[in-house]
Structures are given as structure tokens and as C-alpha cells.
Copies of this chain bind each other. A is one copy, B any other.
Amino acid sequence: MKKSVLFIVYGLVTCMFMLFFWYFGIPEDKQYKWDQNSNGLVGDIEDRYVMVTFQSGLDYWRSIMKGFEDAARTLNVTPEFRGATQYDANEQITVLEQIIAKKPAGIAITAINPEALNVTIDKAINAGIPVVLFDSGAPGSKAYSFLGTDNYSAGAQAARQFGRLANGRGKAAIITQPNQLNHEQRTKGFAETIAAEFPNIRIVKIADGKGSVQGSMQAAKAIIEQYPDVDGFFATQANGGYGIGLALKEMGKEQRKIVIGFDTDKGTLDMVKDGTINVTLAQGTWNMGYWSLMELFHQHHGIVQPDSEDMNGAHPLPPFIDTGITIVTRANVENYYAK
């Protein structure tokens, strides 16, 4: 009796052992590779990386958040999304302070204003939390890296589209958001390129659209009242093109103007499709999110330019990642709708 019990135990143990080998056959192989080589870039699911926006309801952030989330999934870390709900620097500072208090593995933030956040960003960095800026930078802060559009170049491309559509002559107006670095640079790129390459186009007005559809609509109406012969608009921001389009639709068909929009929210795309907006500029939003997390992960794990701390200003990470611009017209607009 005792003997047969032993046989059963022996048999069971052998079976379990074989099952175990069979089940872990693949990891065993990987284990061998790790000993020889590397287990790749893999994080800890407990590590939280936080993305911080403002006007957090904006459609615009969705693809950036998707890129951030995709990178988090790839690297096996946890993404978190926070933001100021309003267009309010103080609210964004408060949100950032709350995040710093929880010591996350990294923070990717888009600055509502190129200076207002510097002190708080530097506070995070002094506390050892990696910070990168995306979409709208804060060049005076201690953050190592900015990921976004080369905004001056985007404005220049918008100017060339305007020049082409206006046959090189006429009057242009810009609707923008003053005091936000990306919008200032787009405005400058547009204005300087018009001046340099289209001597017969004059910019009659640079107006504040307040970052909202309503504000941009009102600004467009005011410009058309003041300059009825304005040939068209450049909107430096997602809501701008849509707001201008609404103003034009409301004012009737005789008000046909050139509209160069920015970004690819549904409202803008619909207006590209129906011809109200001639051209919109698509930013590399997914890349902003994805590579923001990638840079933060590298800094958190110290995989950066060797000895950069001793080099008085050497860059541990690339200081700028240009995520690119694509021209969207009626010909390729269908591809830009969210799938």
C-alpha cells in the first residue's frame, strides 16, 4: 500500500515537472538571452507617468494622449492624464503642484504660457522628477526637452499655402492666441514668410481668438466689418479655423474667403470637406505623446548621454523632437478622421 502511494506521488511530481518545463519552455529561452544580453526596455507597471494639458476637454489632445498611452503599454508602465479644465494658468499650476506632491516617474506637460509655469516645472526637476514639454514649450524652464511642431516652419508653410490660394496678392488676417509660444511662433513664421515671399500680400490684422470657437468667430466677424475686402485668414489654432468658418457661414455665401486652419478636429475636417476651410495643417500629435513618454522613461532610468551631468550644459536627451506637419486639403481629408 505504502509503495503504491509513493508511486502515485512520484508519478504526479514527474507530471508536474514536465508540465512546468513545457509551460515555461519559452521564458526559459528568454531567460538565457537575458543572461547573455538584455531584457529590453521594460518598466514597472507601478511607475506612473503623467500627461498634463490645459483646456482638457479639447478634441486636439486625444491623439497625443493615444500616443502617450501606446508608449505606456509598450513599456509596461502606467499612464495618467491630468489637466486644467479651463484656459487658466493658475489652474494648471495647481494641477502640476498636486502631481509633483505624488512623485510620479515623469511628467509631460504642455505649457499654457511660455513663462508662467517655469517655477513649478523647475520645482519638479529639483525634486528629481523628469519633465518634458510637448506641443507648447517653456524654454526658460529647466526641462531638457521639447516635443512638438517646428511652429515657425508651420507658419511659413501656412503662408505659402495662403500665397498660392491668393495668387500672390491681397489682404490677410491672423487669428491667434497671444502669449502662448507656439501661437506666437506660427504667427511670426506666417508674417515673415508673407513679407519675404509675397510682397503684394499685406497682413491687415492680428487678432486674439481667445482659443475658443466663439472668440474666433467674433474676431473674424469684427475683422470682416473693419476690412470688408480682406481675402482670407490664417488661424493658428484648432478652434480658430472652425470659428472663422462659422462666421463665414453665418454671414452668407458672398463672404467667400481663404481659410488656412490648424489641426484636424472633426469640425475643421468637416469644413475642409465642404470647402469652407481650404487647407488645414495636421500636426504629428501621436508622435508628441509617444516620444514624450519614451524620453521620460529614458531619463527616469538614467539611459541618457553619458556623463551629461558633468558637462556643463550637455544635453542628456535630444533638446527638440520635431514631430512634423502635413498639409491637409479636400484631396486627403478623409484619412484624418478619427477611426
Which chain A residues have a beta carbon within 8 Å of chain B's beta carbons? 2-3, 6-7, 9-10, 13-14, 16-17, 20, 24, 27-28, 30-31, 33, 36-43, 45, 66-67, 70, 73-76, 147, 150, 282, 284, 286-287, 290-291, 294, 303, 305-307, 310-315, 317-324, 326-327, 331-332, 335-336, 339
Contacts and interface: CB of A to CB of B under 8 A. Distances in A.
Nearest 9 interchain pairs by C-beta: A40-B42, A315-B324, A320-B322, A41-B41, A312-B332, A38-B76, A319-B324, A40-B40, A27-B27
A39 B42 contact: yes
B311 A287 contact: no
Given A17-B13, A27-B24, A315 B336 contact: no
A324 B295 CA distance: 15
A25 to B, nearest CB: 11
A14 B9 CA distance: 10
Contacts of A40: 39-43, 74-76
A262 to B, nearest CB: 15
A45 B33 contact: yes
Contacts of A13: 10, 13-14, 17
B311 A322 contact: no
Contact of A42 (B24, B28, B41, B305): B41
Given A6-B7, A24-B24, A313 B284 contact: no
A153 to B, nearest CB: 10
Contacts of A66: 306
A307 B70 CA distance: 14
Contacts of A336: 311
B318 A38 contact: no
B294 A310 contact: no
Contacts of A31: 24, 27
A46 to B, nearest CB: 11
Contact of A30 (B6, B27, B28, B291): B27
